[in-house]
Amino acid sequence: MSLMGELTFFLGLQVRQLENEIFINQAKYTKELLKKFVMKNFSDASTLMNSSRKLDKDEGIQDVDITAYRGIISSILYLTVSRPYIMFVVGACGRFQANPKQSHYIAAKHISKYLKGTQYYAGCKIDRKSTSGTCQFFDDRLISWFSKKQTSIATSLAEVEYLATSSCCGFNNR
C-alpha cells in the first residue's frame, strides 16, 4: 500500500492523515449530493428536522416523483456511514418511499439543507466538543430532556463514532 502513496479517499470517505491523527469526513459526497439534486444554492438549516412538522401519510397532499424522492433518501442514507445520528430522520422519511407526498419531499430537502450547513461538522466552535442529548415526549408534550457536552474532541462525525466505539471496547489511550 505504501507504493500507492498517502491514503486520501477510501470507500467514499475523505481521509486526511497527520502525524498522530486521522481525520475522516464525507464532505465531497455531500457536495455532490447537493449538486445532483439541485440544492447547492439553498440556505443552510440549523436543525436536522422541523420539530413542528409531523410526518404522516398526508393523503390529500400532492404526490411527488417517486424516483426523485427515492434518490434523495438513498443518497442521504449513505451518509449515515459517517453520521449515524441522522439515521432516525432519514428512516422516518424513508417510510414514505412507496407513496411520497410534497410534505415528505420538503422534509427530505430540509435534511439536505442541514447537511449542507454541517459538511465540516466539528461541534462547539470554542472547545470543539460535541454535545449530545435526548428529549422524551408524551403525546405532543415534552416531559424530560437531557443534554451533555462530550469529553472527547472530534473533528468529524466518523471520528466521533470511532471514539465512541473505542471507549465502549475499553481501548482508550490513557
Q: What is the DSSP string of 123-144?
A: S-TTT-EEEEEEEEEETTEEEE
User: pLDDT at residue 70 above 90?
Assistant: yes
Give the Cα separation of 68 and 84 in Å (integer).
23
pLDDT digits (tens, 9 = 90+) for 1-55: 456 777 788 777 788 777 776 777 788 888 888 888 887 777 888 778 776 777 8
Are 49 and 110 spatial neighbours (Cβ–Cβ below 8 Å)? Answer: yes
In the prediction, which pLDDT does 163 show?
A: 67
Give the model confidence (pLDDT) of 112-161 as tens digits: 888 888 876 655 556 656 666 666 778 777 787 766 766 666 555 566 66
What pLDDT band is residue 71 in, cutting at 50, 70 and 90?
Answer: very high
Query: Which residues does 103 contact at the CB level (< 8 Å), separation at least 6?
Result: 53, 55, 58, 61
Q: What is the spatial distance between Cα 158 and Cα 23, in angstroms, rounded to a whole number?
A: 8
Average pLDDT on 60-80 reads 88
- Burial of residue 115 (number of CB atoms within 10 Å: 0-12, 13-18, 19+): buried
User: What is the per-residue pLDDT for 67?
Assistant: 92
DSSP 74-103: HHHHHGGGT-GGGHHHHHHHHTTTTS-BHH
pTM of the model: 0.63
pLDDT of 174 higher than 50? no
pLDDT band at 168 (very low <50, low <70, confident <90, very high): low
